[in-house]
């Protein structure tokens, strides 16, 4: 056996398989990976790290997204992130900022405000420190949205809905409408822009946006409601009789657990809540899972081809968790590297080991199953 043959066999053994119904990654794994990247983005305002997070998410989306309608939503979230940065910058320039500055850029006409609105400023001097702080703040929020957009592009909404516990089946109709609205809206935008281009009509400008906007919203909502109506017609959410004590215990555990999850998540995302955020999140998850398990007794339906969490799914989910944990620890050990100085202005520096931790988020691009279209292109090459 020659060396080239051994190398070819090793490459085929290590290469990710083609995605099928049996080995496709659960949607929850993609969402856990994306939420890990979003948590890491919330812990820093360094534009270099934020740009690295966006690059990691974009590379994974480009490597593993399919041709489904929801896979096209990543570009829309990129544009939304740029819009958020622009809005944050405009508000900072027009309404002022509490950040003091010694580098004035220009001065706008200041509008006098009444005494009851003291502390609010409209116009006035605009400084470089103020603009840089607004850009850092807007970039962090934009990165959060882009990470959520990556999950929307990679996770199948229908498979995510299948993974819901039995206690949440009653809310499934609302979840379907919420999860399919954005992908359907993106697909309708592409379809209408293509139709206008073929008819020789402009696809840009305010007039074109106004003419496209209403049909897009109406079509996306109609398709989402149609899916929900078909689920309702098939008996989705049918429940069985359970004792009142079990029902009350389920409600208390589920509600208390979800409140704990919300409080713990806020603690992890906030800069001052890292100490109490993780214990609250763990306790909330345990209580919510116990409540959902009890509530699952109310379900009288079986699940067709349930998603199985294999080694690849756990690697994808854990890669996002590792990125989030490393960024939280880096914020506690050396916060200056994650938050460049604004007063006085200092150039951001890329910290090496937090950047290396962010690169762990590229693991799904190597271990996740390949979409069929990508597999065919690789075989042709």
The mean predicted confidence, pLDDT, of the chain is 77
What's the pLDDT at 376? 45
CA–CA dist 194, 188 (Å, integer): 10
92 Cβ contact list (under 8 Å, min separation 6) = 130, 131, 133, 134
Across 16-30, 75-89, 132-146, least confident range = 16-30
- Residue 196 DSSP SS3: helix
Q: What is the mean pLDDT of residues 30-40?
A: 91
Within this chain, do residues 285 and 315 fall inside the same structural domain, yes or no?
Answer: no
Within this chain, do residues 47 and 182 fall inside the same structural domain, yes or no?
Answer: yes
The string of DSSP codes covering 314-353 is HHHHHHHHHHHHHHHHHHHH-HHHHS--TTTT------HH
Does residue 19 form part of some domain? no
Does residue 3 form part of some domain? no
Within this chain, do residues 211 and 247 fall inside the same structural domain, yes or no?
Answer: no
Note the pTM of the prediction, 2 decimals. 0.71
Q: Count up the domains in the chain and report the number.
A: 2
Does residue 157 form part of some domain? yes
Does residue 375 form part of some domain? no
Domain finish residue from 298, 319, 347: 298
DSSP letter at 155? S
Within this chain, do residues 98 and 121 fall inside the same structural domain, yes or no?
Answer: yes
Does residue 268 form part of some domain? yes
Domain of 259, in residue numbers:
241-298
On whether the CB atoms of residues 127 and 138 are closer than 8 A, the answer is: no
Higher pLDDT, 170 or 352: 352
Within this chain, do residues 212 and 251 fall inside the same structural domain, yes or no?
Answer: no
CA–CA dist 205, 208 (Å, integer): 6
CA–CA dist 168, 179 (Å, integer): 15
Within this chain, do residues 60 and 118 fall inside the same structural domain, yes or no?
Answer: yes
Within this chain, do residues 135 and 259 fall inside the same structural domain, yes or no?
Answer: no
């Amino acid at each position: 056996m020659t060396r080239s043959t051994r190398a070819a066999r090793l490459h085929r053994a290590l290469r990710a398989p083609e995605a099928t119904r049996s080995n496709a990654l659960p949607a929850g794994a993609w969402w856990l990976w994306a939420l890990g990247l979003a948590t890491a983005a919330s812990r820093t305002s360094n534009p270099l790290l934020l740009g690295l997070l966006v690059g990691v998410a974009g590379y994974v989306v480009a490597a593993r997204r399919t041709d489904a309608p929801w896979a096209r939503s990543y570009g829309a979230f990129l544009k939304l992130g740029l819009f958020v940065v622009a809005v944050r910058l405009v508000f900072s320039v027009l309404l002022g900022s509490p950040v003091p500055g010694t580098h004035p850029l220009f001065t706008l006409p200041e509008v006098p405000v009444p005494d009851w609105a003291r502390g609010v400023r409209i116009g006035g001097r605009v400084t470089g420190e103020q603009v840089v702080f607004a850009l850092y703040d807007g970039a962090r929020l934009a990165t959060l949205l882009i990470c959520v957009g990556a999950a929307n592009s990679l996770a199948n909404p229908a498979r995510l809905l299948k993974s819901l516990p039995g206690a949440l089946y009653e809310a499934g109709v609302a979840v379907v409408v919420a999860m399919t609205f954005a992908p359907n809206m993106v697909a309708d935008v592409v379809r209408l822009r293509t139709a206008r281009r073929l008819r020789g009509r402009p696809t840009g400008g305010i007039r074109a946006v106004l003419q496209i906007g209403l049909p897009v919203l109406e079509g996306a909502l109609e398709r989402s409601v149609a899916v929900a109506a078909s689920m309702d017609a098939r008996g989705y959410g049918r429940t069985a009789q359970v004792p009142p004590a079990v029902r009350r215990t389920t409600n208390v555990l589920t509600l208390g657990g979800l409140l704990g999850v919300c409080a713990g998540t806020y603690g992890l995302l906030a800069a001052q809540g890292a100490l109490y955020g993780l214990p609250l999140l763990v306790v909330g998850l345990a209580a919510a899972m116990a409540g959902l398990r009890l509530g699952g007794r109310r379900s009288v339906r079986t699940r067709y081809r349930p998603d199985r969490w294999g080694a690849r799914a756990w690697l994808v989910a854990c890669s996002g968790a590792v990125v989030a944990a490393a960024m939280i620890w880096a914020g506690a050990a050396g916060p200056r590297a994650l938050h460049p100085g604004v007063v006085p202005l200092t150039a951001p520096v890329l910290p090496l080991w937090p950047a290396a931790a962010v690169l762990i988020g590229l693991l799904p691009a190597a271990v996740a199953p390949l979409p069929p279209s990508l597999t065919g292109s690789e075989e042709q090459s």
